[in-house]
Structure 1
């Protein structure tokens, strides 16, 4: 049989198909929290992408890594690498020449010694002074020729990456080919500046000199873009040198390849490129402070890298008009910062796309981004899970169970406990027995044996309907004192519980500030705090009565969340009257409507936020008047307090676990 071999390499066909899915739940929780704090959904999404999530680095972290990479480059390098290399070659050449002259005893040798001893202190001056010197040492002559060769290769490497290595040990024919390429290139660019170049001229140029351009540009514009980016980086490097370094370098450049012709051609090239691409950064500079010297070619590459890092910083900031996550150059991020940074950016991009494409975020008629009903349901589930965990830890809750005629199946099941009278869920019970027997290796050839551990019972729900009015204070003090988001989270959790678990109940959300208003959950969740004086509980109670009258056969349940005494009421003509401290007429109107609610048989619970003594006295007197309850929860416990009061007021009985279904597992309520 033929031998089969397989080769494996890094996957490069796009996002990793084996990568775990993005965590939309974490993103949605964070976005929902900001929306409930009063931010727009667009702003909340941008903030999440900027901050990141629990296990996900955000754009700020990536931008910090880009900035750190740039700082490392600036602090590690200096721009005098070519000057150092030239100086080393010059010192070695002079030393070898002195040794040779010391061995020679003729008068010309003494005169040469005087020339060597009186060389200018500057590197450029010494190199220029020795341009006509007759070297006696062959090794010294070779080192001096290397200086001219190095300067030529470095000058070319500034404009054409890789030339320094490609032209090492180059022949005169190789250098002549470079000169011819530069002449033809300048002719092509000059023709393009005049507007009389042709595609045929470009093809002829690439056929003749294509080996000098491994990036393989497809037209003259791609060629110019590539050359201009590197030429501009070379200019920024020159701008970043000290005046002394620039002067030395310009003087040395005339010695490149032993002739000024190369620098003349390169100067013409720079002029053409600057005219054709004036938008490139030709005037920028950087402050280097390291000790590792960079040659002209490597330094130009470093400046291109710095430019790419600056572009990445701008892309990661997403601060410019029309910014999108797709703008981020993932290849550049992987190359310059690391593959893990690119993975993080790609994940954030996928998160943004998934949030938009999955229906969690939608557009309003005026084009504004908003949380969709689907997102609201998911947020409600998460908030209700938190409420359930808090309720499950409470002590002393009723644990009565109802069955049969007094209740109807809820669709969820749970493990049998001593005292349960609910009917068995036969399918779940038998399935549990099969799974247990298989895991224990039991012999089932003669039948399946049930164990008490296998039994699951059907959960039941009392046949009971409630008309619930949740009155939430939306005055500015709620936002000012940090109660704005807990109030919204509570409303959303209760709304989700009623909509999913007690669908026969009728919940109405009523916000009251200077006036009261019936609100949909989406409206309340996105409500922004407004500076408007007034806490109009009187108006809210009027709306609650209207809700109760619409459902005459349901048990009225009144839940009031507030942090202040009523300071406003509705006048008979519909105008709002405000006064602080509370006017006696405001108190009288509010008490009158509360009495009307009590006559309708409503069970009332007041949730007092804050420690104001006046508020405490007022709430206590209101509760006594209608035989209601007062709860003063901590902000973190507000949701559990309101939901727990609702469950108790509707008279369904049962434990909290029974009310919520299998909330802490993977079946039942949460599976839906």
Structure 2
């Protein structure tokens, strides 16, 4: 009876691209960091690059990989020197001479005159290793051991010279026979003929195939065409030339003198010189002139040294790829095979994760390319950032997560006509039609109308995910003007990003929860201008001197007049007294300290806001006494309020003030007290 043999399974590392079992990358943290940098003045492209460079919690970035590359490069140059082959030759020569002296001393049958002549030759060998080897080329060795050592010198030089151009030759040709050396010479002859034909444009695919059929054992890289063969050979030959360039003049002279002794014949060096000439002509773009400085104590042979020079070149390529400083740079440019060879598989995992993260950011719709080719944050990204900022604001206002959920603001008012998915804690009424419709669609989408669990006839059952609630809004609409100081002091004192985060949080709140309200963002520096949220969040730091509150109030009052039935809400974020105003002819006047006329124009326009019924709140940044006195007096004129928040609490202060203005009559004062109890200084 035949015995059943269960087939064996072999398991190897997956190398077919990205890990199919890897979890999807989470771009939420990346988006937050990119948004923060964009609001600080970075372009979205640069902000994305900076995030990939820094990495994130639990994910190493490009900087870490670049640091490891630099450390390995430094370790290679500080550990090694280029005397390895010369030292090895010197050791063999010294051993050969010592063995020969011993043989001369023991051989009693030798003529005394002949012995004296031989000893004189050995005593007067040149100090130069190369000259000594050359002088002994015709010496008739009496010691078999000495003769073998000297032959090993010639064999070593031949193997090292070949190992410089063909990795692994030093080991492969150890104890090589004359037939092996003849095969090498034949391969070099055929290779030079093939390269010469290719240089003339006369080679064919069959020429390459015939060459590989005959000599493929010498090329473990298994090139698929003549160009791949040339690339591999040129990279190695260029590294060999850089190694030669890195030697001292004395080392180069010694090596060139010794080269003629390789395999006991100058034919090898002639073939290799022809090979180098062909490769330099075919690949002039390789680095044939570079050099390195080695300072270590571990000597390198010619082949090993060439390998180290190749490693250094690979490390330099990887450093450039990881720097991503060239036009059109993408993380897909990183050579993962080289990275694995130099730093190991853990570095490849990091790089591949960063590649997937970059691709996810580009494919997510959070970044979009403008007509001039630049990247910018998409509306989807702005909404996502706004939600994150609003969540942070809610946490700061509540003192603990979930104590006060901003989505419930205005819930007791009129329905806005919009609905949303029910979330835990919602008190808004259900939208019954939408809820039942969701349940029906879910059930009908099952297989053949079957119940998803029992498989029987489907029945409509409402689940939590089906429920939608009706959104509500306060009965009184508001016209909100947020005036943000964009003078140079805001950027100089680190208030630029908090100001932008505040504007985005308020914009998100109004657009998502109070869609009946109107919002206008006004930035004021030397002059004022109305901005949309994209323009404000992408605004570079402005270094023009001037704080034109007068112009900003003019624009705000114009906005209020366009909404006569809405409750005006005036929110002013500033860190300085007004130092500029608009003249009747439209020119900007600037003076510091503030000119009385500038102050008078600002006061007059604030009075106009008060007559329009605006509920005014000043958010005073910094501790300048002059600003404090000015803001206090301005707020008293219009029965307004002054809030002096810390920078981290600016968003919560502005949003809280807006929500206080939206509260039913009589609640606003209590809401302000509540804000004061949460860490804001309310005056």
TM-score, with length taken from structure 1: 0.85
Q: In the aligned structure 2, how far is the partner of 1:363 from the partner of 1:424?
A: 40
Equivalent position to 1:20, from 9, 13, 23: 23
Q: How far apart are 1:462 and its partner, in Å?
A: 4.9
Aligned to 1:650: 662
Q: In the aligned structure 2, how far is the partner of 1:578 from the partner of 1:134?
A: 100
User: What are the equivalent positions in structure 2 for 1:289-328 lying under 5 Å apart?
Assistant: 289-328=295-334
Map Cα deviations across residues 39-98 of structure 1 (whole Å, 9 max, x no partner): 222222222233333333332322221111111111111112222222222222222222
Change (3 A) 1:391 1:404: closer
What is the aligned length?
Answer: 623
Change (3 A) 1:398 1:277: closer
Aligned to 2:105: 102
Do structure 1's residue 9 and structure 2's residue 18 form an aligned pair? Answer: no
Is residue 82–residue 294 contact of structure 1 (8 Å, CA) maintained in 2?
yes
Q: Report the 3-state secondary structure (helix = DSSP H, G, I; strand = E; otherwise coil) of the residue aligned with 2:607.
A: helix
Aligned to 2:641: 629
Q: In the aligned structure 2, how far is the partner of 1:287 from the partner of 1:580?
A: 59
Change (3 A) 1:302 1:383: same
Equivalent position to 2:159, from 144, 153, 164: 153
Aligned to 1:371: 377
Aligned to 1:179: 185
User: What are the equivalent positions in structure 2 for 1:66-465 lying under 5 Å apart?
Assistant: 66-105=69-108, 106-107=110-111, 108-393=114-399, 414=424, 462-465=474-477
Aligned to 1:599: 611
Equivalent position to 2:511, from 499, 503, 528: 499
Q: In the aligned structure 2, how far is the partner of 1:567 from the partner of 1:244?
A: 73
Q: How far apart are 1:154 and its partner, in Å?
A: 1.0
Change (3 A) 1:258 1:495: same
Q: Report the 3-state secondary structure (helix = DSSP H, G, I; strand = E; otherwise coil) of the residue aligned with 1:471.
A: strand
Contiguous gaps of at least 5 residues in structure 1: 428-456, 660-672
Q: How far apart are 1:398 and its partner, in Å?
A: 10
User: What are the equivalent positions in structure 2 for 1:600-619 lying under 5 Å apart?
Assistant: 600-619=612-631
Change (3 A) 1:425 1:504: closer
Contiguous gaps of at least 5 residues in structure 2: 436-468, 675-683
Do structure 1's residue 584 and structure 2's residue 596 form an aligned pair? Answer: yes
Change (3 A) 1:59 1:517: same
Aligned to 1:524: 536
Change (3 A) 1:422 1:285: closer
Q: Report the 3-state secondary structure (helix = DSSP H, G, I; strand = E; otherwise coil) of the residue aligned with 1:391.
A: helix
Change (3 A) 1:129 1:375: same
- Which deviates further from its counterpart, 163-172 or 201-210? 201-210
Aligned to 2:650: 638
Change (3 A) 1:83 1:402: closer
Is residue 557–residue 604 contact of structure 1 (8 Å, CA) maintained in 2?
yes
Q: Report the 3-state secondary structure (helix = DSSP H, G, I; strand = E; otherwise coil) of the residue aligned with 1:302.
A: helix
Q: Report the 3-state secondary structure (helix = DSSP H, G, I; strand = E; otherwise coil) of the residue aligned with 1:12.
A: coil
- Which deviates further from its counterpart, 617-626 or 575-584? 575-584
Q: Report the 3-state secondary structure (helix = DSSP H, G, I; strand = E; otherwise coil) of the residue aligned with 1:472.
A: strand
Change (3 A) 1:88 1:274: same
Q: How far apart are 1:492 and its partner, in Å?
A: 0.6
Map Cα deviations across residues 147-181 of structure 1 (whole Å, 9 max, x no partner): 11111111111111111122122211111111112
Is residue 504–residue 537 contact of structure 2 (8 Å, CA) maintained in 1?
yes
Q: Report the 3-state secondary structure (helix = DSSP H, G, I; strand = E; otherwise coil) of the residue aligned with 2:88.
A: helix
Is residue 567–residue 581 contact of structure 1 (8 Å, CA) maintained in 2?
yes
Change (3 A) 1:46 1:590: same
Change (3 A) 1:111 1:568: closer
Change (3 A) 1:368 1:583: same
Q: How far apart are 1:464 and its partner, in Å?
A: 4.2
Q: Report the 3-state secondary structure (helix = DSSP H, G, I; strand = E; otherwise coil) of the residue aligned with 1:370.
A: strand
Change (3 A) 1:207 1:415: closer
Change (3 A) 1:501 1:406: closer
Q: In the aligned structure 2, how far is the partner of 1:527 from the partner of 1:405?
A: 38
Q: In the aligned structure 2, how far is the partner of 1:115 from the partner of 1:205?
A: 48
- Which deviates further from its counterpart, 401-410 or 518-527? 401-410
Q: Report the 3-state secondary structure (helix = DSSP H, G, I; strand = E; otherwise coil) of the residue aligned with 1:207.
A: helix
Q: How far apart are 1:199 and its partner, in Å?
A: 4.0
TM-score, with length taken from structure 2: 0.84
Aligned to 2:447: none
Change (3 A) 1:70 1:510: same
